[in-house]
Copies of this chain bind each other. A is one copy, B any other.
Amino acid sequence: MEKITSTQNAKVKKWQHLTTKKGHHKFHQYLVEGWHTVGDAIAAEQPVVQVAATPEQLDEHAQDIPDDVERFEITDEIAKKLSDTVTPQGIFAVIDILAAEHVDPDEATGAWLLLDRIQDPGNIGTMVRTADAAGFSGVVFGNGTSSRYTPKVIRAMQGSQFHIRLSEDDLGNWVSAFEARQIPVYGSALDKDAQNYQTVEPQPAFGLIMGNEGQGMSERLMSQTTTNLYIPIKGQAESLNVAVAAGILMFKLNQNLV
């Protein structure tokens, strides 16, 4: 096993690069951090190709890392450099990004969360985690939604990316495909002319679109949905956080499943 001691080592620089969008495009790989996520990725049979860890972390987890995964011993200083957190655990994995992860909306079953230009990594990750908990089949990242391979998104997903399906697509394709199959697609609106979410009967299969934090859903998508839903707000708050709103809608719409 190779021991790396310099933060200037070329592998360290590449791993750092794998926490950025540019790095993901260049290498078709991404970096995850912490045993919670690394172990989840291995358990979910993700294409983990390398593990880099401090001696303590290697000792602790060696028997859980498959034999075909390349291992590197790193220093605490390198762990700090690679980490997105203040107190890094000291274990990282490089995972291949597979082109085959694309989901065909003509064949998708169950409930799907569709993200329209969501920006905040914490919101995105939390929505994936909530979709998993609400029994959704998957989440589609629409054009303009932040990458699912950045450290903050990965941390907020808490391993749920390995439990449900994730895809990237033009949401227009999903709306058209679902409507052709007579599966409802719900938009979300702040508009009181939209339908109160409490009046919708839970469905076995549907799409739910959540829109950008500041601007909401695009007008174009809004006009294509089966119906648009709103959550009645009682106090003086102007709106809900998008991940909270998504949670309320997902647990209501999929209520018969949980």
Contacts and interface: CB of A to CB of B under 8 A. Distances in A.
- Identical subunits present: 2
A200 interface: no
Nearest to A133: B237
A88 interface: no
B126 A235 contact: no
Interface in A95-151: 122, 126, 129-136
Contacts of A258: 232-234
A158 interface: yes
Interface residues of A, number: 39
Given A244-B126, A244-B244, A255-B198, A238 B158 contact: yes
Interface of A: 122, 126, 129-136, 156, 158-160, 163-164, 198, 231-241, 243-248, 251, 254-255, 257-258
22 contacts: A122-B122, A126-B243, A129-B237, A129-B241, A130-B244, A131-B235, A132-B235, A133-B234, A134-B235, A160-B235, A163-B235, A163-B237, A231-B251, A232-B258, A233-B258, A240-B247, A241-B247, A243-B244, A244-B244, A245-B247, A247-B248, A248-B251
